[in-house]
Structure formats: C-alpha cells, structure tokens
Structure 1
C-alpha cells in the first residue's frame, strides 16, 4: 500500500468501518464517515480553487472539524500548514509568509485570540475562508479520486512550525512517507494499537498533537479523544464517558486531574498512561521508564522504549533506543567528529523518517554533507545503544569553568517529592553565570530543594537562584508552547537567593 494519507484513509475505512476515529466533547466521526466525508469535502475545496501542491493554512482548536479539514487537504496532495491558535498578528504574518500559504482557513476567535491578516504583506495568499465556510464545501468524489491517484509518497504533506525559546520559527517540510513512517515507528513505544482509546489534549498544530494524536490513531485503527480547551471537569468527564484506556497528555495536567478526580472512575486507564492517574501499584520506579525523545524535525519521537515496561537497570534515566529506521550518531559539538560510546556530544539523526527540509533553506544549510541533521541536543549512547539526553547545546553553559547541562539539573529536581515540574537556565550577572531554577509543586521550600539537589548532583550544578510556583500555567511560553527562557531569567532575577 502506498504511504499516502489517501491510501491510509481508504484502507482503514475498509478495516474499521463505523468505529469512532475521533471524538470531541460535542462530535464524533467513524472511519467510514471520515473517508466519505473528507472525499466530498476535498472535492468542494478543489472546486473552490485548491489543488495539488497548494499551501493551506489551518487555524482552529482541536476537534473533529480540524481532523476533517486536515485529511481533506492532504488526501489530494495539497500541503497542510497547521498554525498555532496562540499566534499574535505579527507572528501569524511571519509564518504565513515563511510557508508561502495560498489558502487560509481560520476561526474568527479562540480563547481571546483573533487572527487578523495583513494581505498587503502576503503576496502568495489568495483566499481566506472562515472555518464554517470551508467545512460547508462539498462536491462529488470523482475529482478527489482522480487527483488523489496522482499523489506520491515523496510529495510534501505538511509544514510543521517549530522554534526554540528564541529566534525565528522554522517551517519543517514533511512528505507523506516520512511522516507516516515516523509515526508508525513509535506506535509500540507509545502503546497505541487498534484497541486503544487515546486521550490527547495537545494542540493539533504541534507535532505532539498531529503526529502522536491524529496520525497515531489513524495508523493503528485506534480512537482519539480530544477537546479544544482542557479543564479538570471536562477532561474527567471525557475520560469516564469514553472509557479512555491511554492518557498521553502533559504530566502537569495529569497531576492536576489526580487532585480533582475524587470518585471519578478511571479504571479503564492502562499502563503506559501518565502515572499520576494510575493506581499506585502500577507506578514504575523513578527512571525505570524511558522519556521518549523527539522533535518536530523528526516528526515526533525517534527514540524510546515501551511506555508500560521497565528498561534494563543499566539504562534507567535514558530515552530508550533509536526506533527502527533511525540512524543516530554522537559527534563533537565543535569539530563534528564522531565520539565513542559513553561520551557526551551533539546528537545527529538521519533516515527516511526525518523531515525533507526547512522552508527557505537549502539542503546544505540544513543537513551535513553525509545527510545527518544536527539536532542541537546533547547526549551519549551507552554500550547497549540506549540514549541518555543531556540537554541542548545552546542551553549548555559554564559555571566557574565547569559545564552545566540544564537537563541534568531538571531531572534531579523532578525526581524530588512534591515537584511537578522544573525548568533550569543560566542567569548571567556582571561576573559569571548562575544556575537558576523555576520549580512547580506543593509544599516546597528552597532550603529542602537545595539540600536534596546537593545530595544528587555536584555542588556547582545546584541552583543559586530559585523561583517557586504552585501552578505550571505561570510558566512563560512562546506561541509554539515552548518555554521562554528569556522570560524565565527575568523571573529568576526577582526570585529567591540562598
């Protein structure tokens, strides 16, 4: 079977029929209806001017409607450009220009955000459709079938935006084959199969929602349960009503739900779900389960281990092993030369699952001469091929001449009782760098955190600047959802010193 969205949707409709594919709080759609309705919707979009290769932007909250539009666009070879509902007008204009979006489908407003577009700055933009208007398009499926038959595995399927805590966004271009194969390679590690009823609140405009959510469910024949605005009451209702078996949201969200659960019946949840919602006897020992490692450029995780299974003891604290099809090497950050097992350097990846390129950058600007993508992540491989992540190369910093990896300090903090989340950055002053930590949790004190951290890591890595928060929502984030390190440093300068 060709690795295209159209071929996949047709095949899964034949296998799973009326079984629900996506459920949101007010709507649901089965595999058969998804196939027929997106064929007719695609035909209507084609009649309105869209065609194979068109760049189509989409700004909508999670739900059945988002999935229908996205599938319709991709089936006929148009290129989907999911756009964040958090974007400010200037950011939206920049991403529309970067991806050369020609057709834009958008809601008027979501959670206080509106999406005005300055068309004078966007020469490629031809049409703006309101979401309800686009969803009403309809046609006979003959046009869809004819164009879908011309879509090839190597054709671009989606442009996913990603960015770090600073710098301009990157539009990563993924083909049908590389995206679908990347998602398929991680299904076992994420414990997703045809019997799964997967709750995933992550926005569909992130690869964590689009790949780990929509495409994972579609490839496995599973049922995806989602919602546009997660909250304890609505989420608990969905988990119970839909008998969700796998919860793969944010750890902080799971912790909050556990505090509100009361008498809620979450007995359908299975191992592999975030542990805060599982009974204590199903919890793993700290470090025993892999922390899947991935990025938008690899279309999600490229390294992991079954989420319901302990790794070998020597691999505890690792990210598991590279998935089949992923070629991974560790190189010296300065020279680019390969490093032996056990030595920390930059992680580089290569293989058919990696993105095809980045918008407005040449291949030479993105990949090494022998085809590896430098991820900017630091880590090492042990003798058995397990990958240990040590943070970002651009986050690594020196304290009195010694190297500090923020990821290592964060892991030490997150292992402490009462800590739900921890974020570590350097905070430079006139003399040198200081280690700063913003910690989210209950009943915490700087004194206890500092003492416990000092017992776990070298003294020069122990934070000297602290900010304690009771709610993860206070963590500053950019439009892509990533933590804003510059804003963290500002918070820490006003924080607590020992």
Structure 2
C-alpha cells in the first residue's frame, strides 16, 4: 500500500539552482542595497552583502572557464562554513559543473578517497587545510588545480598548481554561454547509503530546486506562523543560526533556504556554545535548525538559563537523527514557549521528506508528515508492502527529490523499479499521517547525527600491519547517540589499543574515532564471509550489562563502607511513612 501526502500539491520549479539563488540575491539587494546575507558569528564584523554575491560568482566562473573547467566536470571544496563556500558552489554550477562538498575536518586520506572517486579536477580550500589537501591531491592525478583562500596573516608564495582565490574573483567577468539542464548533476555529496563505504549521490538541479520549493513552502506555511504569530512575516529582518556544516545536506539546504527568504545568516565555522547563546540573545534569533547533540546542550548545560534565551527562540527544529522523547521533554522545560519539532530526510533525497505541522504541536515521538508530492510505502522483513497503520517496517519514499543514483552505480537496488528509495530505517505511519522512526536495519552508526559506516573504519584498521581481522559496530551512547566499538583480531600479540588509537586518528575525522576496543580470537562471520554484527552487538550488550552490574555492586560496597547505605535506607523508610 502506498501512503500519499495529504499536503496541497505544489508547482515545482525546474530553474537551475544557481540561477534561483542569484535571482534571490538580486531581489533582496534591490529592496535594500545594504541587505546582509552572512555575518561571521565569531567576530560579527565580517559581513557579506547580497549585492556582492552575483558579481563575485560571475568573476570566479569566468576564471574557471579560462582554467578549462567545462560542463560535466566535477569540483570539490574543503571549506568550513564561510561565504566562499557559497561563491565556489554557485560558480561551478554556472559553468555547468557539479560540486562535491567535503568536510573541513576530513583527513588527507578521506579527502583523497572523495577526490579520486568523484573524478574531481579542481579543489577549493583555504590555507588552514592546504597542506592536507595537497597531500590528498598528490595521489589524485585528475586534480589539475587547487584554488586557495588566504587565511594566514603573513603572505607567502603558493606552489605552482595552487591559485589565489581572491585574485580569481577579481577576474573581469565575461558571458558564459552554458545552458544548464534541470537534469544535469548539480551536487555530488557523499553518503554511505544503507551500507558500505561513502558513495557519490548524483543530485540534479531538478532535485534540489524541488527541495527548495517544498522547504520554503513549509517555512512560510508552518514555521512562519510559529515565529511571527498573527503578525506579518518579516523574513528579511530575521537573523538565523547557520551552525550546521554546509558540506552536509541538512546544513547546506537550510543555508540556501534562508537566502531565498532574504534572511541574514549568522555563520559558524565551528559549534561554539557560548557564541551561539550570545548571538541568539543579541540578534533575538527566533529559529534554530539543530541536531540532537545540540538539544542535549540546550537541555543540560548550566549556561543556557544564565543567558536567558528562552524568550527569543520560537522554533527549534531538530533533524539528522531522531531525538528521544525524554530529551525533548527536558528541552521543552527550558523553552516552554518554543515549538519543538523534528523532521526526517536523507542526503539521497536532498534534505527532508517529512515535515512537522504546527497544528500537531510539539513532535516528541514523530518526525512530522509527508511533505507535498511525497509518497511512502513500508516494507516488512520479507519485502512485502505493509497495509496497516502503526505497523513497523522499512520506510521507502518516492518523490521529486530522490537522487538520480550513485555515481559508480553502487547499491543499484536502493531505488526500486517503482522509484521508491529504500532508506534502511524502520518506522511506521499513524492514523493522522505522522511518521514515526523507530530504528535502523542498515549498518550505519549515527554519531552526533553524522553517518559513520563501519566498513570505512574497518578498512583503516586493516591497513595496520599488526591487525589480522576486525569488525566495527555502534553501541548506545548517552551523549552521542551511538559510538563506534571495534573488535580486533591481532596478527602480532604486541598490538595495543594505544597503537590503534593513534593510527586511526591519523586517518579519520574525529567523529569516526573508535571509543572502545576489544581484542578477540575470531570475528563471527556467516559462511558467505559477511560479518555477524548482530552477534557482536549482543556481545557488547552482555559486556555492558556485566559492567553495569559490577559498577552497581562496587558502588553499594563503597556506600556500606562509608555509612551511606544506612542513610539511604533511613530516607527510604521516612518517605514510605509519609
């Protein structure tokens, strides 16, 4: 059975993404020549005006054409959140190319994998990451040039194949005679899908433009009333937090949506809690796009009530991973007047497919309802369609934002013959059309809302000469949601946990670091050679239960020794007598 969105249908644009964003910049600067698109959240003195976006994009695009960049080519960028990120992306799209965004904290090993797999020819970065990028591109013969933004106080000469970003943005612009098709690839983000190593998701201009239409419609019809009440929406006067990383689908699209509505984005290069609280209060921020670890901060940190930001935040929207009911309730206690809601999506579907409705109130246990134009079917363990509500199975979505496919045709079956994308997530739909996400059947580990494929960590561990075999699983973590645990079979008995820790940290970003190791004699596998991760998780849970029991026993022994146990018993008796 196919569940169809109850939302009113939308007329979706097919205008290429860069044209839509540049048109929005023209519109907002015409209404107010001093309209600001970005403010550096850390300093608040560095600003980017809407009027300056298009001229800079045109100059950089002209320079790219002169460098031989042509339609169908791929560029990559390893920037933190900054105006240059947007400028580079739009210039590449204007030339008919695709941008593959990489994390600013990626190691050279991770960058190399993405640059090579995506067939990148030009890389954008800054001086802080230049050495890392050069080590990565040294092993990627397809990369012709690196375009670098100067960030160091002392100017030095760049190596031969490294060009100055600012100098290129001063190139006299010339007409670029490229017709960009709605079905050409605009973005090539990397995602682990339902299993395996990161893969390039081919997102077309049609995909992304549709997502922008659907998301902006939700902002205007649902988020707006929660922010402005009965007053007229004044988006152009609003400041919004842009602290989610833009290389990630969630962060990138919220940034683009804020531009379409004419808001001023407070740009965070890193998540700084004190700066965030300060900026919310100073700019009277009404809307915050967050992920569950940030909700934990709002719920528990002692600084939050001191800054007294509760009167300002009207909407807190969380996505990236599902936040639990208890966490939501704790946040709500501190922000009783804010609409606390959740949404669901995947990189393979650009951003969101489910959206919260204001009439349904706070979303503690749901991720909202199907967005306009989306359809859902739910499959049981035998891949048969579930026809009843409130019945859990694999969530599969169909809609205009579903990717064209993976770049190298990996996981061909992730999109079925009817166009439904299999998410690997378990959930159900209720009588009101609300979606509940209950778990995952895919192997991915979700650390602070970020995807961590076990096989990527395993590949690195197996590079160590003292490792014979290994397997990685995710285990529950109160702070991160999940954390990676590695089971390792030694090839050399002298191997230590400290050696592996140092080795992994040299090759993988911090959110992929292993939190715990266990050395075992053999990795449990099926006859086919597939790792039995379920058995490993059962082993981990058994160890956890034993450790908890031992911890409780030792704590009780300590309490008896200090007389605390008697005190607890007396207090319990007093409570029962009252």
TM range (shorter): 0.7 to 0.9
Shift in alpha-carbon separation, 1:179–1:28, aligned structure 2, 3 A: same
Give the whole-Å Cα distance in 2 for the aligned partners of 1:491 and 1:52: 50
Aligned-residue offset at 1:356: 1.4
Tell me which residue corresponds to 1:341: 389
Give the whole-Å Cα distance in 2 for the aligned partners of 1:237 and 1:311: 31
Equivalent position to 2:172, from 140, 143, 148: 140
Aligned-residue offset at 1:116: 4.0
Shift in alpha-carbon separation, 1:436–1:15, aligned structure 2, 3 A: closer
Q: Kindly report the root-mean-square deviation, in angstroms, between the aligned alpha carbons of the 2 structures.
A: 3.8
Aligned-residue offset at 1:19: 1.6
Map 1:483-494 onto structure 2 (within 5 A). Answer: 493=543
Aligned-residue offset at 1:173: 1.2
Equivalent position to 2:38, from 22, 31, 34: 22
Shift in alpha-carbon separation, 1:163–1:484, aligned structure 2, 3 A: farther
CA offsets 1:443-489 (integer angstroms, 9 cap, x no match): xxxxxxxxxxxxxxxxxxxxxxxxxxxxxxxxxx9749579798797
Q: Secondary structure at the match of 1:136?
A: helix
Map 1:75-474 onto structure 2 (within 5 A). Answer: 75-109=94-128, 114-119=132-137, 121-132=139-150, 133-137=164-168, 138-144=170-176, 146-147=177-178, 150-163=179-192, 167-189=196-218, 191=223, 194-195=235-236, 196-212=238-254, 214-253=255-294, 255-256=296-297, 259-261=302-304, 264=307, 266=309, 269-273=312-316, 276=331, 280-283=335-338, 290-306=341-357, 309=358, 311=360, 317-361=365-409, 364-394=412-442, 437-440=476-479
Tell me which residue corresponds to 2:464: none
CA offsets 1:64-104 (integer angstroms, 9 cap, x no match): 22222222222332211101122222222111122111111
Give the whole-Å Cα distance in 1 for the aligned partners of 2:372 and 2:350: 14
Give the whole-Å Cα distance in 2 for the aligned partners of 1:372 and 1:28: 42
Greater alpha carbon shift after TM alignment, 172-181 vs 4-13: 4-13
Give the whole-Å Cα distance in 2 for the aligned partners of 1:35 and 1:373: 36
| Residue segments in structure 1 that go unaligned for 5+ positions in a row | 397-405, 411-419, 422-433, 442-476
CA offsets 1:422-463 (integer angstroms, 9 cap, x no match): xxxxxxxxxxxx99642239xxxxxxxxxxxxxxxxxxxxxx
Give the whole-Å Cα distance in 1 for the aligned partners of 2:413 and 2:403: 14
Aligned-residue offset at 1:265: 6.3
**Do the aligned residues in 2 keep the contact of 1:328 with 1:350 (CA within 8 Å)?**
yes
Give the whole-Å Cα distance in 2 for the aligned partners of 1:277 and 1:252: 15
**Do the aligned residues in 2 keep the contact of 1:302 with 1:323 (CA within 8 Å)?**
yes
Shift in alpha-carbon separation, 1:180–1:218, aligned structure 2, 3 A: farther
Q: Which has the larger radius of gyration?
A: 2
CA offsets 1:186-229 (integer angstroms, 9 cap, x no match): 335452673442102111111121112x2111222222212112
Higher helix share: 2
Q: Secondary structure at the match of 2:428?
A: strand
**Do the aligned residues in 2 keep the contact of 1:104 with 1:127 (CA within 8 Å)?**
yes
Larger RCO (CA under 8 A, 6+ residues apart): 2
Q: TM-score, normalised by structure 1?
A: 0.73
Aligned-residue offset at 1:159: 0.6
Shift in alpha-carbon separation, 1:383–1:484, aligned structure 2, 3 A: farther
Aligned-residue offset at 1:390: 1.4
Q: TM-score, normalised by structure 2?
A: 0.64
Greater alpha carbon shift after TM alignment, 478-487 vs 323-332: 478-487
Greater alpha carbon shift after TM alignment, 273-282 vs 196-205: 273-282
Aligned-residue offset at 1:246: 1.6
Aligned residues: 420
Aligned-residue offset at 1:373: 1.2
Give the whole-Å Cα distance in 2 for the aligned partners of 1:485 and 1:310: 42
Q: Secondary structure at the match of 1:497?
A: helix
Runs of 4+ in 1 over 6 A off after TM superposition: 482-492
Give the whole-Å Cα distance in 2 for the aligned partners of 1:121 and 1:478: 17
**Do the aligned residues in 2 keep the contact of 1:342 with 1:380 (CA within 8 Å)?**
yes
**Do the aligned residues in 1 keep the contact of 2:195 with 2:443 (CA within 8 Å)?**
no
Give the whole-Å Cα distance in 2 for the aligned partners of 1:354 and 1:483: 31
